[in-house]
Chain A
Amino acid sequence: MRRGEVVLETRNLSMAFGGVRAVDRVDFTLWDGELRCLIGPNGAGKSTFFKCLTGQLRPTEGDVVIRDVHVAGREPHEIAALGVGIKTQVPNVFDGLSAEENIWIAARRWHGAERARTLTRETIERLQLGEVRTRIVGTLAHGQRQWVELGMVVAADPWLVLLDEPAAGMTHEETGRTAELIREINRSAAMIVVEHDMQFIRMISRTVTLFHEGRILMEDSMDAISADPVAREIYLGHRA
């Protein structure tokens, strides 16, 4: 496996809600070009961990370093301004605007008017959103809204992409296309994907980080994790 430089690192990262430590002294490293999946049963702390990375939560302890910049406790827009593309668990789109305009606003943040228009057109083609280009996003189907959001992430041309459950609520076919898209994004960006859907993870991942009770339990390939008796007990046991 290619191991370039470290693009994202957490040291001793903790997030406590009252007495509950949702994330408990996590040391995590993401290498350049990597596509890492975070899995774990409900309440394992992966979404809280994710929110600490994106600035939506301010960690109670520890540090997050993105390409040598300490970002723990920074605002989300400051983290995004480093060139980080973020998609949250709940679809966050501009419901009252057209699909085109949603993506344009993402592209325009980084580029001049002319370039932003070209980028918007390209992104719409890339995500096959041509048919719904002028439709108001609030009226689109769930899967399409997720893609519009992915389109916004892609249009900003990030070098690091953080996705929280990108395939949630999608049909089988849509999930397949999303997996394809994620592999394509991964060609130019390192990625962290939080996901529940095992099949989906098999489609996209090489290394998987398993969270349990706020800590990293294992870090290995999906096959190794599903073969591991402890991991099966924790993950599949809880799910059943």
Chain B
Amino acid sequence: MRLARDFRGTLIVAALAVLFTLIAPVTLEFFTIITLTQVIGLAILGLSLALIWGFGGILCFGQTAFFGLGAYAYAIAATNIGGSTGAILIAVLVAAAFAAILGYFVFYGRVSDVYLAVITLTVSLILYSLIRRTSGPEYKIGDALLGGFNGTGAPPLNIPGDASAMLFPEHIFYVAMAALILVYILCGRVVTTHFGRVCVAIRENETRAELLAYDTRLYKLGIFTLGAAIAGLGGVFFAVGISRVTPDVFGLGQSALTIIWVIVGGRGTLIGPILATFALYYLTAALGTQQLLNTNLILGIILVIFVLAVPRGVIPTLTGWAATRRQRRALRARERRLRLRRPRGGEVAGEAE
């Protein structure tokens, strides 16, 4: 079946990612490896939106709310516990629980798609202003100062069970890549399951799914919560990557960027938004080194170009081209075969008459 082939594709891409993970520390500069961890965090965020928007059809404009909550929850939990393993779990759970509660009211209240986008964006902006106002010694959770505008420190990862055995940046990179690859495989698997196919069906036509006796609210809540958990995990690696969490994780800029990654990479694929995250991050970094052109202007232009010229995104457009070419080649091959056979075929037809 086609789905089995889709999942095999996921595994092939994952294998390539493993290869990249092994090669990168040898070929890339140390500094690049350090920054890569935070980009991997962002890529996991992009992947989470690829799942819920690209497959679930839920345009969540505030995916950063869960991303930021994950980042803050990790920083606070790790500071208090004194170890990173449990803190990662807490971060993922906090993001998922928050999404489950928010999603319950949105989906069971039958809020329409447009309002969902508005509500999620508003939620992330509320979190943004809320956390910015937490400067001062009175705002602390356990040992962790929230730090308002300046944010709070995020402890690095450590070997599970031994809080004093901190990981080196290189090893953190391995862990982050492992997380990205595993979550990618998980998502690739989920979209081929019955649950995943129903989510895609709901994206296509919610009324029909309901008339086929599927409780669409439950499915949407499910994929929304899963996406939020993944975004929370992305937040963890982002925080670890820059050793700090600031309110900007909830900001409007970050929300918009996440949408751009998915548009550029392509809705309906998982790898597209991941690659787009890396590409646009490094483009932004490169643009930041020059003063001639404004970075946001360029990003805006890229978005406009994609929406107008490549509305499906890079990966779906490329696979579309490949499929058309394959089809054409098959057609030509069949024509050639027919042409070779035609003389004999004509005689047979003549005899039959």
The answer to whether B215 and A94 have CB atoms under 8 Å apart is no
Cβ of B201 within 8 Å of any chain A Cβ, yes or no, is yes
Among the 9-residue stretches B206-214, B253-261, B329-337, the one with 4 or more Cβ atoms under 8 Å from chain A is B206-214
Mask: chain A, 61-100; 1 = CB below 8 Å from B; 0 = not:
0000000000000011100110000111000111111100
Q: CA–CA, A109 to B216, complex, Å?
A: 12
- In the bound complex, residues from chain A placing their C-beta under 8 Å from that of B2 are 98
Q: Does A54 contact B (CB under 8 A)?
A: yes
Contacts of B203 in A (CB 8 A): 96
Q: A106 is contacted by which of B210, B212, B216 (Cβ under 8 Å)?
A: B212
Q: Given that A88-B207, A108-B194, A152-B208 are contacting pairs, would A97 and B201 also be in contact in the complex, using a CB cutoff of 8 Å?
A: yes
Q: A94, B208: Cβ atoms under 8 Å?
A: yes
* Residues from 159 to 200 in B contacting A, C-beta threshold 8 Å: 194, 197-198, 200
Query: With an 8 A cutoff between CB atoms, is B205 at the interface?
Result: yes
Tell me which of B204, B207, B214 contacts A109 (CB under 8 A).
Answer: B214
Taking the nearest CB of chain B, how far is it from the CB of A136, in angstroms?
A: 10
Which residues of B lie under 8 Å from residue A181 when comparing CB positions? none
Residue in contact with B204 in the complex, picked from A80, A81, A94, A110, CB distance below 8 Å:
A94
- The interface residues of chain B, by DSSP majority, are classed as helix
Q: How far is the CA of A18 from the CA of B79 in the complex (A)?
A: 59
B-chain residues with CB within 8 Å of residue A106 when the two chains form the complex: 212
Q: Name the B residues within 8 Å of A109 (CB-CB).
A: 212-214
B313 to chain A minimum Cβ distance, whole angstroms, is: 15
Give bound CA distance, A101 to B209, whole Å: 13
Say whether A15 faces chain B, with CB atoms less than 8 Å apart: no
- A80→B208 contact, CB < 8 A: no
**Contact among A87, A92, A104 with B205 in the assembled complex (CB-CB below 8 Å):** A92
Q: Tell me which residues across on chain A come within 8 A of B212, comparing CB atoms.
A: 77, 80, 105-106, 109, 152, 156
Residues in A whose Cβ lies below 8 Å from that of B200: 94, 96-97
Given known contacts A105-B197, A105-B201, A113-B194, A93 and B215 CB-to-CB distance under 8 angstroms: no
- The chain A residue with its CB closest to the CB of B194 is A108
What are the residues of chain B within 8 A of A81 when measuring CB–CB?
Answer: 213
* Residues A93 and B205 in contact in the complex (CB < 8 Å), given A80-B210, A108-B194: yes
CB contact between A86 and one of B197, B198, B211, B216 (< 8 Å): that residue = B211
B195 to chain A, nearest CB (A): 10
- Count chain A residues whose beta carbon lies closer than 8 angstroms to a beta carbon of B: 28
Question: Do A80 and B205 touch across chains, with their CB atoms under 8 A apart?
Answer: no
Closest beta carbon of chain A to B324's beta carbon, Å: 14
Structural contact, B194 and A92, CB atoms closer than 8 A: no
What separation, in Å, do the CA atoms of A105 and B207 have in the docked complex? 14
Contacts of A105 in B (CB 8 A): 197-198, 201, 209, 212
| Chain B residue at smallest Cβ distance from A87 | B211
Task: Compute how far the CA of A226 lies from the CA of B2 in the bound complex, rounded to whole angstroms.
Answer: 52
Question: B203-246: which have CB < 8 Å to A?
Answer: 203-205, 207-216
Nearest CB in chain B to that of A134: its residue: B2
A95 contact set on B, CB distance < 8 A = 204-205
Which chain B positions have C-beta within 8 A of A152? 208, 212
Whether A80 lies near B213 (C-beta < 8 A) is yes
Contacts of B216 in A (CB 8 A): 77
Assembly CA distance A56 to B206 (angstroms): 12
Whether A54 contacts B194 in the complex (CB less than 8 A), given A95-B205, A97-B200, comes out as: no
Structural contact, A94 and B201, CB atoms closer than 8 A:
yes
Q: How far is the CB of A144 from chain B (nearest CB, A)?
A: 16
With a cutoff of 8 Å between Cβ atoms, the chain B residues found around residue A75 in the complex are: 210, 215
Report if A76-B211 is in contact (Cβ < 8 Å); known contacts: A97-B200, A105-B201.
yes
Residues from chain B with Cβ under 8 Å of A54 in the complex: 211
Interchain CB contact under 8 A, A92 and B214: no
Chain B, residue nearest A56 (CB): B207
**Chain A minimum-CB-distance residue to B204:** A94
What's the Cα separation between A105 and B204 when bound, in Å?
Answer: 12
CB neighbours of A108 from chain B (8 A): 194, 197
Nearest-neighbour CB distance to chain A for B201, whole angstroms, equals 5
Contacts of B215 in A (CB 8 A): 75, 77
| 6 intermolecular pairs with C-beta atoms under 8 Å apart | A77-B214, A94-B204, A97-B201, A105-B201, A106-B212, A109-B212
Q: Could you list 11 further interchain pairs (A-B, Cβ under 8 angstroms) beyond the known A77-B211, A88-B211? A: A76-B210, A77-B209, A80-B213, A81-B213, A94-B200, A95-B204, A104-B197, A105-B197, A105-B209, A105-B212, A109-B212
Counting from the closest, the 4 A-B pairs by CB-CB distance are A80-B213, A94-B204, A92-B208, A81-B213
